[in-house]
Amino acid sequence: MAWTEVLPSGKYRALYRDPNGKRRSAGTFDHKRRALNAASAAEQESRSRGWQDPDAADRPWGEWATEWWETRKVEPTTMASETYLLESYLMPKWGTVPLAEITRHRGRAWVTELSKTERRISAAEEAKRKKALAEDPTAKIQRHYLAASSVQRIAGLFSASLNAAVDAEVLPANPVFRLKLPSRPPAGERFLTHAEFASLTEEFWDAFDVAAIALMAGCGLRWGEAMGLHRHRMDRERGWLRVVETWDPKANQIKAYPKGKKARDVPVPGWVGDILDRLPILPAADCGHVHAAGRCRSNLVLHGAGDMTDVNNWRKRVWAPALGRAKIGHARPHDLRHTYASWLVQNGVSIEEVARLLGHASSVVTQRYAHLADTPKDSVLTALGDPFRGAIVGQSDTPGDSQSVRAVPA
């Protein structure tokens, strides 16, 4: 119900309560009736459809972010990594700042600040630094700062929260929309040659390990997709496999779809099929692992029902030693997937088809491999062949004292 109160000046303040029960003023008037009418009109408007609290933008960003965070629908792995970014970089900076006080200028200054922020290190690394400085106060400590990709992720998450505030009509616009961010350095993908891959394969002694790298380099599977590959997804007669499930290490379960949320069919090269055929066949009605959705119909191609192989442990225990023995330089397990793409592009497969085989939602991501399809060196050298081939050098109509030679066609 609307009401008025008399001020010391003798004027009347128009008062009402909004739908949240908060006392609000509709202004000050000379006459009581006019004040009451204004209060009643404001109260009615506040109860109309689409009304928004005019003070909503005064809420701290941290309060809004907590509310928004609960409405997000992302994968467990994404949620875990972004929760770390939220707690480490966003809340300390913006948690107590009112939404209305977030400006483009402050956002730009913050991005610059992020670029100069040292990457968080482990307790063990921190202890090493303290010990080194205690022994030698002048010791130089190597510091690693946030990479451009990390700054982009942090700023992107912050911008997403403000976009949500705009959608909720808490803010009229996103003040950091399309803010200029540091660019990433050129991609450091490693592409193995066929000879390098063959040499590396010889250094793996377990059939499981050989099959795992064969699926990554020969079929372009991610580690999680290879671990989550079920036997009923393989069609050896037709030479295809279907990528439908993937292993989620954070949730410790099989997800119902790979990254990009689209199943895809991938041809299986004969040499990959031969390697997979050498694996022991473990007949089972299901894989023995929890599925996020759907019913399991067979066991896994690479794994049993026990604890799933952790990629970080496998990288240290198996991959790194094999790489050292092969003496082919540095490479990551994920570079086998880049290798798969590079082999396809270099052999004339279109970027669009490579994107489909890799499971990329857009071929834009796959453009990183476009340079591999450039004109081959042999074609360039052929086009720039010897210009004197077929010419008789020595026949000249130049003066005898001239140092130049004019080639006369044969």
Per-residue pLDDT tens over the stretch 127-141: 888 888 888 888 888
Asked if residue 399 has pLDDT above 60, the reply is no
What b/e string do you get for 73-92 counting C-beta neighbours within 10 Å, with b at 16 or more?
eebeeebeebeebbeebbee
Q: Maximum CA pair distance of the chain?
A: 117
Residue 241: helix, strand or coil by DSSP? strand
Q: Given this model, what pLDDT does residue 395 score?
A: 46
Asked if residue 67 has pLDDT above 80, the reply is yes
In this structure, which amino acid lies at residue 203? Answer: E
Q: What percent of the chain is modeled with pLDDT above 90?
A: 45
Binned at pLDDT 50, 70 and 90, residue 391 comes out as: low
Alpha-carbon torsion (63, 69, 70, 72), positive or negative: positive
Alpha-carbon distance of 238 to 240, in angstroms, equals: 6
Specify which of 65-79, 111-125, 144-158, 177-191 reaches the highest per-range mean pLDDT: 144-158
CA distances from 29 to 37, 43, 131, 403 (A): 10, 16, 72, 104
Query: Nearest 5 degrees, angle CA 160-CA 165-CA 166?
Result: 95
- Residue range 108-128: average pLDDT? 87
More confident residue, 156 or 256: 156
Question: Which of 28-32, 46-50, 180-184, 187-191 is predicted with the least confidence, judged by mean pLDDT?
Answer: 46-50
Alpha-carbon distance of 347 to 356, in angstroms, equals: 16
Alpha-carbon distance of 59 to 161, in angstroms, equals: 13
- Residue range 13-22: average pLDDT? 81
Binned at pLDDT 50, 70 and 90, residue 121 comes out as: confident
Asked if residue 403 has pLDDT above 80, the reply is no
Asked if residue 383 has pLDDT above 60, the reply is yes
The two three-digit tokens of residue 40, written as one number: 């009643």
Query: Is the entire prediction scored with pTM above 0.75?
Result: no
The two three-digit tokens of residue 137, written as one number: 């106060």
Q: Given this model, what pLDDT does residue 192 score?
A: 93
pLDDT, tens digit (0-9, with 9 covering 90-100), for 257-268: 766 667 899 999
The answer to whether the beta carbons of residues 269 and 214 sit under 8 Å apart is no
Q: Given this model, what pLDDT does residue 402 score?
A: 44
The answer to whether the beta carbons of residues 192 and 329 sit under 8 Å apart is no
Alpha-carbon distance of 11 to 7, in angstroms, equals: 5
Q: Given this model, what pLDDT does residue 374 score?
A: 63
Question: Which of 61-75, 210-224, 278-292 is predicted with the least confidence, judged by mean pLDDT?
Answer: 278-292
Q: Given this model, what pLDDT does residue 410 score?
A: 43
| Integer Rg of the chain from CA | 33
Strand-strand pairing, 391-392 and 408-409: antiparallel
- Residue range 203-214: average pLDDT? 94
The neighbour count for residue 326, using CB atoms within 10 Å, is: 19
The domains located in the chain, with CATH, are 3-51 (no CATH), 61-167 (no CATH), 194-372 (1.10.443.10), 384-410 (no CATH)
Q: What's the mean pLDDT when you consider all of the chain?
A: 84
DSSP code, position 235: E
- Residue range 94-113: average pLDDT? 94
